[in-house]
Structure 1
Amino acid sequence: MSTRNLKALFRPQSIAVVGASTSPKTIGALVMRNLLKGDFAGPVMPVTPDHPSVAGVLAYPDVACLPQAPDLALICVQKPETIPGILGTLAARGTKAACIMTPGLHLVSNEDGSTKLEEALSVARANDMRILGPNSMGILVPGIGLNASYSHESAMPGKLAFVSQSGALCTAVLDWARDKEIGFSHFIHLGDTEGVDFGDVLDYLGSDPMTRAILLYVETIHERRNFMSAARAAARNKPVLAIKAGRSREGARAAASHTGALAGSDAVFDAAMRRAGMLRVHDIEEIFGAVETLARARPMKGKRLAVITNGGGIGVIAADDLSELGGELAALPDEVIDKLNAVLPNTWSHINPVDIGGDADGERYVKALTILSECKAVDAVLVMHAPTALSDPGDVAVAVIKSCKDRPRANVMTCWVGAEAVRHARHLFSGAGIPTYETPRAAIQAFTHLIQYRKNQELLMEVPASAPTDFVPDTRRARFLIEAAIAKGGGTLNEPEAKSVLEAYGIPSVETHVAPTPALAGRIAKTMNGPVALKILSPDILHKSDVGGVMLNLQGDFEVEKAAYQMLDRVKEVYPTAQIQGFTVQTMARRPGAVELIAGVATDPVFGPVIMFGQGGIAVEIIADRAMALPPLNMNLAAEVISRTRVSRLLEGYRGRAPVNRQAIELALVQLSQLVIDFPEIVELDINPLFADSQGVLALDARITVAKAKPGTERLAIRPYPKELEEIFTMKDGREVLIRPIRPEDEPNHHIFLSKLTPEDIRFRFFGLVHEMPHTEMARLTQIDYDREMAFIGEARTENGGKETLGVVRTVTDPDNEKAEFAVVVRSDLKGGGLAKRLMVKIIDYSRSRGTHAIAGQVLRDNQRMLAFVQHLGFVPMRTIDGDIVEVELDLHQPPPTGPDPTA
């Protein structure tokens, strides 16, 4: 991922059109037409050997003849085999960005078997040139008058960025947006995404001050971690929406477990969007509604909606849609009912939806809207209108618009149902910046978009709860079992082996023994107290119950041995080719009222390992009640996964049944998450059923599939907590300090840490007085993306056995990994103890290890102690900002300095 040279792509000062043409309906002609029709201020230089000029502009026969190196080259030649040579010549001239509009590069081969696409990308990489496409429709940046595309329509200036892998969808959105009078900051067609990808564009747009919201149309993701890091960073700054094409279950067809079968790629993509703080939409109609919502609606604080309507029918439809899509009709307090009674006719509905009558005029609408928008029990108001002969839709719209202007903080959405009779009214709303929709469902869907977006953002800002019990996994035991299976050629661990791995990570399971013969199964059962369950043991049989391979509540050796022989006969008849390894004999779990759950791990081809949770049992695929999440998980993230399932309601207790111990389920999911982080060999894992009741959880059946894998965490879409970076440091006074990466759970102690800093510490760190940092800002400091940020804290034990933060150092690295900005602060009463130096050395070593070129920071000129300290570490003053801030920088390619510390 990189934003290098993207400015040349999206804000060029000069453009060359290579392959410009005078032939109508060719890409070269359309691109020239669009460029010249816009208000682009820089030179446009057509390149073609066929014409002396194109569209009245002097043309050049080839790139070498251009009078200057263009910032951006638009390549629309008809022969794809010429493109690598064109790129090479452009690079030699100094061009840093190209948009390849020509398709088919991957279809043309060189003599050595490589393709022209591979050759073109090689030329671009060698010359640090950014490539958009191939097969790109182009770029529109209306704010600078740039229409570098062959679109049929131009875009209006605005604050919304649209990034798509589909050219056809681009043209449809342009058409729709012009009708809705919605403008764009950027309109980008990625084409085949062989050069610039979603991660690159998200990083660029996420920090672009002219972009208020970003909308993505996604067909494929190439770099999962880059995509997730960029998406999470952008979503913290502004709304990001995504629509995903190809919502198929192809990835589940070869699955070897319930979890794998349920983990369809679409469900995983949805989980990724939630984790990134983005909003997921599902179809083209919804994408239009989402654009309308983001362009005009205000942030939503809750899910309680009041509906004003002049027709009971459309109000009922809206209420039904609200219930189905997860919203909530606001319950109107008695005092609000009384206020409405005072201004509405006796025939109004007296409930929400507020039906004010088919003859309602603008004044009646405004009276109802004023009361509801001021009601604290209402989070938003949907104003609906169906055309009647008794009132004018336009007059009502004008009145509602005036009311909204008088109350700018009110969250109001509108739905004028119909076509020709209400078209003018909808245009009035669009012009006034008020969200408006054509159908009740579209309006309700937009409302729930805002609710879900708020939830996703809150999830990014929550302080995760610590695990109720610290668990230390027995990784040696788990590794022995997994490596033994790998040594046999990989495949599936049998049930007792899988349960042993789970127990090594703290997930309890029932006592289970392996018996190769019916006779031994009987003898094992005799040694066990109480009834037992007998199961067939075969690597070929996924669903044992389907072939008669499970018998429950068996008593004594004779009954178990007899049942085993009968089971063998049944299984051989149903599945004659199955390899039978024997039986498992396990204690019957006596947990009356326990809820049957399923938990597991699957490997998605795009996002890597995912955690699945839902309702378990033999009908798990039919019930299909599940939720997915990307590891790593903490207790809060695990709780959120559970809340997205229908079975979560059963966990609360019902009809005299005690509530389930939810913390035990959350912990089990966290333990599964840690297991898959520690062992890249795990391809699939299945616990079904996982019993859960007030006592906790118990795994009754388990299955783990393993295969050879490279060590490390690169397969994970989100880099987990890097525990390997922890170290113990002893301060000069003998106090031991744990230096480790910061975690989201550190937020409470971070508040305390800041409260213990002196006013001078605060001024030197934040360049001003900060009395209290809000939760949203503190969450940004403690919930970091370890793939592009790092913060090390010094943590020590307190006298009462607690933990406290003594100091922190952090860096934020640019997407190109060229420069990291640092900040460090240690409590004043601890200065001189060596902690600040150890923190700085650790962050320098870490940055150097990940290939960062330099570390830079800003220090107040009067902070002479800090200036001397960082210069001792090798930092060099580079420049002075506003007279009182010194920017210092350390070249990480230079060896560390030696000599005494002047601040010691």
Structure 2
Amino acid sequence: MSFRYLQSLFNPQSIAVIGASSRPHRIGSVLMRNLLAGGFGGVIMPVNPKRDAVGGVLAYPDVDALPRTPDLAIICTPAATIPGILEQLGRRGTRAAIVMAGHLATTIGPDGRPLDQTILETARRHGLRLLGGGTLGVMVPQFGLNATFSQVSIQLGNVGFVSQSDAVGTMVLDWALPKKVGFSHFVSLGSALDIGFGEALDFLGSDPGTRAILLYIESIRDRRSFMAAARSAARNKPVVAIKAGRAPRATSGALADPLFLDTPGLIDEDDVFDAVLRRAGILRVDHLDELFGAVETVVRSRPMVGNRLVVVSNGGGAGIMAEDSLHLGGYAMPELQQNTVTRLRRLLPSGWDGRNPIDIRVDAPSKRYEDVLKILAEERDGDAVLLVHTPNALTSSIDIAQTVIKTIRNSGGNLLTCWVGDESVAAERKLFVDSGIATFDTPEHATRAFLHMVNHRLAREVLMQVPPSMSHDFLPDVDRARAIVRSALTEGRTRLTEPEAKAILDAYGIPIVQSVLAADPQEVARVADRIGPPVSVSVMSRDIRRKWEVGGVALNVETPAAAAAAAQGMLTRIKALRPDTAVSGFAVQRMEARAHARQLIIGVATDPLFGPIIVFGEGGRALEVYRHLAVGLPPLNLPLAQDLIDRSRAAPMLAAYHTHPAADRDAIALTLTKVSQLVVDLPEIRELDINPLFADDRGVVAVDAHIQISPEPPKPQRLSIRPYPQGLEETATLRNGRSVVLRPIRPEDEPTHYVFMSRLTPEDILFRFFHYIGTLPHSEMARLTQIDYDREMAFIASAQDDSGQPETLGVIRAIADPDNHSAEFSIIIRSDMKGLGLGSRLMIKMIDYARQRGIQEMTGDVMAENEPMLKLLKVFGFSAGASDEPGIVHVRLPLQEEARAR
């Protein structure tokens, strides 16, 4: 359903209020009052068959009687009336409606179906977008739009707030008013029957008046839409979320008995959602007061460039509290530069120890605050300064606040203030709020807000980082792995044997300990004698998932006779404990002599909403003790794999300690990326675990492995993040005989893209960007090379230069709107490569791709003086028309049959 029609929701020119009322405490009454009081400049048309006017505005008996088609309809009538009203609105061409009635999924209509299904079908039939049901409504102060029944109003600002809870939404709005935190939009999703977080994020992410986005999330319905929209929005502006439902009882439960979890309940949907937000570049906070603090810093602070906090206080205790809070957040106070210390010593009373926090003494006058802040601004020892002031009778707290405000205006920098107290410092806090300076009531709250700024920067780095290429030596034997899976499915099996699982790992270059199958204890003895002691023996059975529970594993077996005895003992125990269990044999393998190895686990599970996930942590029996796994989303690259390791409790034990050398973290990270690629290539895999994975200074080796597969065909778009579309690569030959590869752009193309940009002529750059640009910063170049393949595509032409190194010769880019209706394209070719047919090859590739995606049209803007490009586009069937900008030609190419007919 069309994203374009959201303009009718957020910026309507006419509104019909169906069920408008003059009776107090009715939704239709409160909503009319808010619409009129908000100063909405468009047409308001109340619909009430029993009233001539509502709120002093002429009323109409029904939708058909309205004098004009409303852009937006607000439906305040009972649930049973909604399908009929939507039918009337749809026939008239209304494009958006807000449905106030709730519990639509549990209300049964006359046809015996839940009413929400009928409502959604009716709306979709007419291309009408719905907000709700059970929604508080929408506020857009820029247009005087208060289409809610809230008793709280908002002031204009640059924060977009999307809430799934009316109560939480009202609470945040009420908090924001005295803090002078303004909003560009407030959106209450309600049950998100149609419009959900994805659409709201898309709209706010592209809205120039929205500087930051806040989300209150209880559940997600469309994960692919959410992920694509969240990643797109977070690339351009801060996105902060609070997700309710951390407690186990508040969730729908753990993932469905993942194979690798010897102890159930180690991860649940909240662990997965945490990984989702992290991968999307969204800052997650746990509590409402943290959300408020995050708003305070996002709105009133400059973007962070580091994690150094300098604390200035007029009392040692308050500074120490801030230092403790920073330490608990995983950071330490930075040391001050010697020049800073020297300058401060001349200024401060004797006795200061030269450390951060800086204690300027309880009797510090305004001038001392001013001088200290100036020195810190000049020396730049920190990325932010936290000023903690405890009021006392020796100084004027209000004078100090005024001095601080004046100083920071002149010197700049990131300043957080904390005037400790409550009513006694209300006036000072108001001064800071009025001046746009972040202010907090305790050192802990202020420090936590600083950490939010740091974590947001790190989240952006995860989103925007440039991963190095995986080694070109990594060429997995995908056909071999697929053959193993097909063979098992043909036999009706959904669980691979241990040797089969290890064979798949081996096909992906993951070191394994070879297992040899033995049918009975006698063969176990012969195998043990052949491979040599010490060996391990483990039972093989489809009915046993946790071998330890039945004594199904024997380690460090020294003789063939002992191996046979161990196998016989397993048979005896299993017969006694589980008489119906079928034992297929035993796996015998040579014990790895790795005295310093850490036991780890790498696993894959399938979340019902977000699809495959990858987990990492301590393996072996320690998994049952520590009960913690870090969660990530495929596809992984090396930096993301290192981040997954860092977030696990296994990370500290990988470092060197005592006589143990450090484990090879690079080998662990590489193994994670190989497992990630395996998940991408083999969609039949539902669960996988490598436990234990031995890791030491020599590398890694998989000691035990299990894989569960599914006979069901994989769901389309099963991955939350679309991996690199390798199938779109092709080779082409230019007119001069040179061979080039046409392929989607990758993040690791950034270095060669810099070289490509440097070899463009000023005219090339002018025709592409419409103005001259210098060397792009990393953040901008990352936007060009790190793309979301769900939303945009960029094909580059790559070839080897004279030294055998890859170089980029040209690029074509197309960005689709959220509806997948229209895609705006751009193309640029190196001047020395023009006239060789490269531009035509790239155009053909992009047009074919856009058609296959179902995009209706390609559009673009071309400078009128760029005659060669206009000539090329004419050959491909583009029509040319006037643009709103002088000297610019707007071009359009219909792609689908229905589009060509228009």
- Asked if 1:865 corresponds to 2:864, the answer is no
Q: Distance in 2 between matches of 1:293 and 1:609?
A: 35
Rounded to whole Å, the distance in 2 between the matches of 1:53 and 1:327 is 63
1:62–1:399 CA distance, 2 compared to 1 (3 A): same
Which residue identity is paired with 2:554? M
**Structure 1: runs of 5 or more not aligned:** 898-904
Partner of 2:242: 243
Q: Which of 437, 441, 452 is equivalent to 1:438? A: 441
Residue 123 of structure 2 aligns with which residue?
A: 124
Give the distance between the partners of 2:622 and 2:669, measured in 1 at CA: 23
Number of the residue aligned with 1:54: 54
Distance 1:384 1:705 in 2: 56
Please, what is the CA RMSD of the aligned residues?
A: 2.1
**2:20 matched to 1:20?**
yes
Give secondary structure in 2 for the equivalent of 1:329. Answer: coil
Structure 2 equivalent of residue 344 of structure 1? 348
- Supply the AA of the counterpart residue of 1:124: A
- Cα deviation for residue 181 of structure 1 reads 1.4
Q: Secondary structure at the match of 2:840?
A: helix
Q: Is the 8 A contact 1:660 1:695 kept in 2?
A: yes
Q: Is 2:255–2:606's contact at 8 Å kept on the other side of the alignment?
A: no
Task: Say if 1:665 and 1:807 are closer, same or farther in 2 by CA, change over 3 A.
Answer: same
Aligned residue type for 1:155:
I
Aligned residue pairs total 895
- 1:623 matched to 2:622: no
Cα displacement string for residues 677-726 of structure 1 (whole angstroms, at most 9, x for unaligned residues): 11222111111111122222111111112112334751111111111111
Measured after TM superposition, the shift of residue 111 of structure 1 is: 4.1
Change (3 A) 1:213 1:887: same
What pairs up with 1:701-720 in 2 under 5 angstroms? 701-711=704-714, 714-720=717-723
Distance 1:206 1:661 in 2: 41
SS of the aligned residue for 1:285 comes to helix
**Paired position in structure 1 for 2:89:** 90
Which residue of structure 1 lines up, in the alignment, with residue 468 of structure 2? 465
Conservation of the 8 A alpha-carbon contact between 1:468 and 1:663: no
Query: How does 1:312-327 map onto structure 2 within 5 Å?
Result: 312-327=316-331
Per mean C-alpha deviation after superposition, the further-off stretch among 366-375 and 396-405 is 366-375
Cα separation, 1, equivalents of 2:753 and 2:641? 23
Secondary structure of 1:795's counterpart equals strand
The question of whether the paired residues in 2 share the 8 Å contact of 1:461 and 1:775 is answered with no
Between stretches 203-212 and 470-479, larger displacement belongs to: 470-479
> 2:80 matched to which residue of 1?
81
Q: Is the 8 A contact 1:253 1:261 kept in 2?
A: no
Say whether residues 1:770 and 2:773 are aligned partners.
yes
Structure 2 counterpart of 1:39: 39
Deviates more, 1:205-214 or 1:760-769: 760-769
Q: Following TM superposition, by how much is the alpha carbon of 1:341 offset from its aligned partner in structure 2, in angstroms? A: 2.0
Q: 1:256 to 1:490 in 2, by over 3 A?
A: same
**Partner SS, residue 195 of structure 2:** coil
Seen in structure 2, the aligned counterparts of structure 1 residues 69 and 880 have a Cα distance that, compared at 3 Å, is closer
> What residue is the counterpart of 2:415 in the other structure?
412
Distance 1:756 1:839, change over 3 A: same
CA contact (8 A) 2:857 2:899 kept: no
Q: Where in structure 2 are there 5+ consecutive unaligned residues?
A: none
1:234 is aligned to 233
Measure, in 2, the Cα distance between the counterparts of 1:622 and 1:252. 19
TM-aligned CA deviation for residue 140 of structure 1? 0.7
1:508 is aligned to: 511
1:328 partner SS:
coil
CA 1:469/1:695 → structure 2, altered by over 3 Å: closer, same or farther? farther
Matches within 5 A, 1:342-421: 342-348=346-352, 350-408=354-412, 410-421=413-424
Q: Secondary structure at the match of 2:398?
A: helix
Letter in 2 for 1:197: G
Q: How does 1:158-237 map to 2 (within 5 A)?
A: 158-237=157-236
Q: 1:711 to 1:316 in 2, by over 3 A?
A: same
Query: 2: CA distance between counterparts of 1:375 and 1:583?
Result: 68
SS in 2 for 1:534: strand
Letter paired with 2:330: G
Equivalent pair of 1:598/1:616 in contact (CA under 8 Å):
yes
Distance 1:132 1:324 in 2: 41
- Partner letter of residue 108 of structure 1? T
Tell me the alpha carbon deviations over residues 727-774 of structure 1, each in whole angstroms, 9 at most, x when there is no partner: 111222222221111111111111112222233322222223334222
In the alignment, residue 893 of structure 1 is paired with which amino acid? Q
1:265 CA drift (Å): 1.6
State the AA in 2 paired with 1:387: P
SS in 2 for 1:16: strand
Deviations 1:772-800 (A, max 9, x none): 22222211111111111111111122333
Asked if 1 retains the 8 angstrom alpha-carbon contact of 2:2 and 2:129, the reply is no
User: Paired residue for 1:561, among 544, 564, 568?
Assistant: 564
Compute the displacement of 1:152 (Å).
1.2
Range with greater deviation from structure 2 (692-701 or 152-161): 692-701
Separation in 2, partners of 1:670, 1:563: 37
In structure 2, the residue matched to 1:544 is 547
Find the counterpart in structure 2 of residue 11 from structure 1.
11
Query: Aligned partners of 1:2, 1:206: CA distance in 2, in Å?
Result: 17
Aligned to 1:290: 294
* Residue matched to 2:641: 638
- State the AA in 2 paired with 1:806: L
Give secondary structure in 2 for the equivalent of 1:551. strand
Q: Which residue number in structure 1 is paired with residue 589 of structure 2?
A: 586
1:745-784 map, 5 Å: 745-784=748-787
Rounded to whole Å, the distance in 1 between the matches of 2:428 and 2:544 is 63
Give the match's secondary structure for 1:106.
coil
**Contact 1:339 1:371 (C-alpha < 8 Å) held by counterparts:** yes
Residue aligning to 2:334 = 330
| In 1: Cα distance, 2:344 partner to 2:552 partner | 66
- Letter in structure 2 aligned against 1:194: L
Contact kept in structure 1, 2:76 and 2:101, CA below 8 Å: yes
1:687 maps to which of 686, 690, 699 = 690
User: What corresponds to 2:71 in structure 1?
Assistant: 71
Per-residue CA deviation, residues 832-861 of structure 1 (Å, 9 max, x unaligned), is: 322221111011011011111111122222
Give the residue type in structure 2 aligned to 1:605: P
SS of residue paired to 1:5 = helix
- Partner Cα distance (2:450, 2:392) in 1: 26
SS of equivalent to 2:537: strand
TM-score (norm 1): 0.95
Answer with 575-584 or 604-613: which moved more: 575-584
Report SS of the residue matched to 2:379.
coil
Summarize deviations over 1:145-169 as a string: whole Å, max 9, x none: 1111000110111110100100000
Q: Provide the C-alpha distance between the structure 2 equivalents of 1:370 and 1:771, rounded to a whole number of angstroms.
A: 33
Look up the match of 1:901: none
Q: Please report how far the alpha carbon of residue 397 of structure 1 lies from its aligned counterpart in structure 2 after TM superposition.
A: 1.9
The alpha-carbon deviation at position 291 of structure 1 amounts to: 1.2
Offset of residue 829 of structure 1: 2.3
Is residue 713–residue 719 contact of structure 1 (8 Å, CA) maintained in 2?
Answer: no
Q: Secondary structure at the match of 2:653?
A: helix
Tell me, yes or no, if the aligned pair for 2:856 and 2:899 is still in contact at 8 Å.
no
Whichever residue aligns with residue 60 of structure 2, its letter is Y
Q: Provide Cα deviations, 1:268-321, integer angstroms capped at 9, x if missing partner.
A: 212211211211111212111111111111111111111112232222221111
Partner SS state of residue 51, structure 2: coil
* TM-fit CA distance, 1:896: 13
Matched residues in 1 for 2:821 and 2:834: separation?
31
Q: Is the 8 A contact 2:2 2:127 kept in 1?
A: no
Counterpart of 2:888 (choices 879, 885, 888) is 885
Distance 1:24 1:538, change over 3 A: same
Deviating more after overlay: 704-713 vs 745-754 = 704-713
Work out the CA distance in 2 between the residues paired with 1:403 and 1:772.
Answer: 34
Aligned-pair distance for 1:607?
1.3
For residues 391-424 of structure 1, the C-alpha deviation after alignment (integer angstroms, 9 at most, x for no partner) is 343232222222211212x111011222111222
SS at match of 2:304: coil
